[in-house]
Amino acid sequence: ASTAEKMNFQTEVKQLLHLMIHSLYSNREIFLRELISNASDACDKLRFEALDKAELFEGDGELRIRVDYDESAATVTVSDNGIGMSRDEVITNLGTIAKSGTREFFSQLTGDQKKDANLIGQFGVGFYSAFIVADKVSVNTRRAGLAADQGVRWTCSMGEDAAGEYTIESIDKAGRGTEITLHLREDARDLVNGWQLRQLIRKYSDHIIQPILMKKEAWDEEAKAQVKGDEDETVNQANALWTRPRNEITDEEYKAFYKHVGHDFAEPLAWVHAKVEGRHEYTQLLYVPENAPFDLWDRNARHGIKLYVKRVFIMDDAEKLLPTYLRFVRGVVDSADLPLNVSREILQESKDIDTIRAGCTKKVLGMLEDMATNAAEKYATFWQAFGNVLKEGVGEDFANKDKIAGLLRFASTEADTPDQTVSLADYIGRMKAGQEKIYFVTAESFNAAKNSPHLEVFRKKGIEVLLLSDRVDEWVIGYLNEFDGKPLQSVAKGGLDLGGLEDEEEKKAAEQMADEFKALVERFKTSLGERVKDVRVTNRLTDSPACLVTDDQDMGMNLARILKAAGQ
């Protein structure tokens, strides 16, 4: 073995460690869930890499996780025979936080422990949660496929204050995989107890698909205590949750499973679990999170669907299984038809995958429709977190455009607040007699939309107008010509025809006015020259003297502004 080398943590890791020790103690139990979750992921990764490199199994294809403890040393150990880590991977994974948005996240911290604890929960602490209960953590690991002398030991000790550094050294490790030993803090010693640990495993990790083993214990008369024997027992159910019938799974089980697949600390907002039979047979268990992840706006960020074939894990981030505009969905799909040796290349081409994708999309949209109808408050939470992502679907998913349009929510002049609560169906339900179109205005901000001079005539007549001010809105609206047979109409477009909403008298008055001001309009045209296409007399305005409109065929002004800003 070489000598130990000291290394510094990335600044964000130091901050995270500090916060965790000081604000997550009341949630200390989660450490075990996080370590087991990682062990399970490591087994999945090995299974995936071994698909075309069976020698990685090193003759041992039975993946498992083990939890052990040592009373006299006050340690708890979690080990797995998964993929393990090379030296470089240890440094990257246990010395830095690679999540996108990390910097921004840390800049949001306030120093207020309660608030920060909440935030950190949303961020997710994973491996580092070990330090909630331990003042020293050591990790022995060897990557599958590397020689026994390529093992690595990572250690980090800290007292009251977070440590700034860790050490790393080479070791011999016969078995592949990772073994993490926690030296428990004084006040966490009650966890060094077989009964306690079993409780925690059943409570948080029952759904883990690999067996979680512990040594069997029996009462020993002489020692007057439970004593560990040599035999193993499996503590968790170790079956695939999604293969069980729905009515036998509790909400608690669904939620615990979500935290593992979703890498989330918060509970899911909703889920859908269904088995599809027929030409293609597959099971789907799909979740909508409550909070947006930090990398939501990165369209290349990891996709949250795990693909299984007949209960065997195939791959993470199976981006082909859902369209990009549903990238916030987490969960698993288990296919009965795909070949077990499926590769990424096969997936790209597979017709089966197209069918599964269409089915999953339908299920998710159905779940959202159901939420919108039956749980309006939940839907509002959803819309706030993911509405702007879902909107992309209007332009991306032609087959489901109407469904998605039905799920959209807008601010409008009805409430005149920025809250996006109005659906197109709500709007149509409130249309005035003789109104044929859905009117909207787009602007750079809610206030600009709300105060747009184009609204004056609509406000006067009591006609509702949708107020669109999100960046994507103009793009979305470009794909949405009509809803439920009613065309969408910008109030800022040319010869706005109010159709049945204008009475004869108003029309006559307008014509008269146009005549009266002919000479003035000519003078405007001459002096504005090339800069305008046309000048018109209007009865649209009540308070403002003039406003700009675009031609029916021209792009919206907001879009024009965006393109101009982008230098086009």
- Residues 126-145 close enough to bind ligand ADP by CB under 6 A: 126-127
- Binding residue for ligand ADP, selected from 75, 77, 93, 167, defined by CB under 6 A: 93
- Residues 276-335 close enough to bind Mg ion by CB under 5 A: none
Tell me: is residue 126 an annotated ligand-binding position: yes
- Binding residue for ligand ADP, selected from 9, 34, 480, 501, defined by CB under 6 A: 34
Q: Which does 178 bind (CB under 5 to 8 A by kind): ligand ADP, Mg ion, none?
A: ligand ADP
- Binding residue for Mg ion, selected from 36, 80, 87, 126, defined by CB under 5 A: 126
Number of shown-chain residues binding ligand ADP (CB under 6 A) = 16
Kindly give, in sequence order, each residue whose CB lies less than 8 Å from that of residue 300, ignoring residues fewer than 6 positions away. none
Tell me: is residue 127 an annotated ligand-binding position: yes
Measure the CA–CA gap between 351 and 356, rounded to whole angstroms.
9
Q: Which does 96 bind (CB under 5 to 8 A by kind): Mg ion, ligand ADP, none?
A: none
- Binding residue for ligand ADP, selected from 38, 102, 400, 489, defined by CB under 6 A: 38
Tell me: is residue 513 an annotated ligand-binding position: no
Tell me: is residue 125 an annotated ligand-binding position: yes
Neighbours of 498 (CB within 10 A): 22
**85 near ligand ADP, judged by CB under 6 A:** yes
Applying CB under 6 A, which part among 33-41, 219-227, 360-368, 511-519 lies near ligand ADP? 33-41
**556 near Mg ion, judged by CB under 5 A:** no
Q: Which residues pair with 307 in a beta bridge?
A: 315, 333
Closest distance to ligand ADP from the beta carbon of 398 (Å)? 35
Tell me: is residue 484 an annotated ligand-binding position: no
CB 280 within 8 A of CB 337: yes
Number of shown-chain residues binding Mg ion (CB under 5 A) = 2
Please tell me the total number of residues recorded for the chain in this structure.
568
**42 near ligand ADP, judged by CB under 6 A:** yes
Token pair listed for 52: 């075309």
Q: Which does 468 bind (CB under 5 to 8 A by kind): Mg ion, ligand ADP, none?
A: none
Torsion-angle region of residue 413: left (phi > 0), alpha (psi -120 to 50) or beta? alpha
Measure the CA–CA gap between 501 and 433, rounded to whole angstroms.
8
3-class SS shares of the chain: helix, strand, coil, % to 5: 45, 20, 35
**423 near Mg ion, judged by CB under 5 A:** no
Task: Tell me the residue nearest to Mg ion as measured from the CB.
Answer: 126
- In 3D space, the residue among 208, 187, 254 whose CA is nearest the CA of residue 39 turns out to be 208
Kindly give, in sequence order, each residue whose CB lies less than 8 Å from that of residue 527, ignoring residues fewer than 6 positions away. none
Applying CB under 6 A, which part among 10-18, 31-39, 279-287, 523-531 lies near ligand ADP? 31-39
Closest distance to ligand ADP from the beta carbon of 112 (Å)? 24
Kindly give, in sequence order, each residue whose CB lies less than 8 Å from that of residue 118, ignoring residues fewer than 6 positions away. none
Query: Residue 440 in 3-state DSSP?
Result: strand
Applying CB under 5 A, which part among 34-42, 154-162, 522-530, 559-567 lies near Mg ion? 34-42
- Residues 464-493 close enough to bind ligand ADP by CB under 6 A: none
- Residues 434-453 close enough to bind ligand ADP by CB under 6 A: none
Q: Where are the alpha helices (DSSP H) in 350-463?
A: 351-374, 376-396, 401-407, 424-429, 446-450, 456-461
Measure the CA–CA gap between 182 and 28, rounded to whole angstroms.
13
The mark string for 263-282 relative to ligand ADP (x by CB under 6 A, - otherwise) is x-------------------
Tell me: is residue 371 an annotated ligand-binding position: no
Neighbours of 506 (CB within 10 A): 14
- Binding residue for ligand ADP, selected from 178, 210, 291, 413, defined by CB under 6 A: 178
Cβ closest to ligand ADP, residue 28 vs residue 378 = 28
Closest distance to Mg ion from the beta carbon of 270 (Å)? 23
Q: Which does 320 bind (CB under 5 to 8 A by kind): Mg ion, ligand ADP, none?
A: none
What's the Cα-to-Cα distance from 192 to each of 184, 300, 470, rounded to whole Å?
A: 8, 42, 53
Closest distance to Mg ion from the beta carbon of 124 (Å)? 7
**262 near Mg ion, judged by CB under 5 A:** no
- In 3D space, the residue among 28, 362, 342 whose CA is nearest the CA of residue 190 turns out to be 28
Cα radius of gyration rounded to whole Å, the chain: 30
Q: Which does 199 bind (CB under 5 to 8 A by kind): ligand ADP, Mg ion, none?
A: none
Backbone angles phi, psi at 96, to 5 degrees: -140, 165
Tell me: is residue 178 an annotated ligand-binding position: yes
Applying CB under 6 A, which part among 15-23, 39-47, 408-416, 457-465 lies near ligand ADP? 39-47
Q: Which does 384 bind (CB under 5 to 8 A by kind): ligand ADP, Mg ion, none?
A: none
What's the Cα-to-Cα distance from 311 to each of 231, 283, 284, 371, rounded to whole Å?
A: 27, 10, 12, 29
DSSP-assigned letter for residue 410: B
Closest distance to ligand ADP from the beta carbon of 235 (Å)? 18
- Binding residue for Mg ion, selected from 15, 23, 38, 141, defined by CB under 5 A: 38
Work out the burial of residue 22: count CB atoms within 10 Å of its CB; fewer than 13 is exposed, 13-18 middle, 19 or more buried: middle
Tell me: is residue 38 an annotated ligand-binding position: yes
- In 3D space, the residue among 447, 539, 431 whose CA is nearest the CA of residue 486 turns out to be 431
Measure the CA–CA gap between 289 and 305, rounded to whole angstroms.
13
CB 97 within 8 A of CB 13: yes
DSSP string, 462-500: T---EEE-STTHHHHHHT--EETTEEEEETTBTT---GG
Q: Which does 80 bind (CB under 5 to 8 A by kind): ligand ADP, Mg ion, none?
A: ligand ADP
**262 near ligand ADP, judged by CB under 6 A:** no
Closest distance to ligand ADP from the beta carbon of 277 (Å)? 34
Cβ closest to Mg ion, residue 38 vs residue 86 = 38
- In 3D space, the residue among 203, 268, 234, 179 whose CA is nearest the CA of residue 33 turns out to be 203
Tell me: is residue 101 an annotated ligand-binding position: yes
Pairing of strands 304-309, 330-335: parallel
Q: Which residues bind ligand ADP (CB under 6 A)?
A: 34, 38-39, 41-42, 80, 82-85, 93, 124, 126-127, 178, 263
Q: Which residues bind Mg ion (CB under 5 A)?
A: 38, 126
Residues comprising the binding site for ATP? Answer: 34, 38, 80, 85, 93, 99-101, 122-127, 178, 344
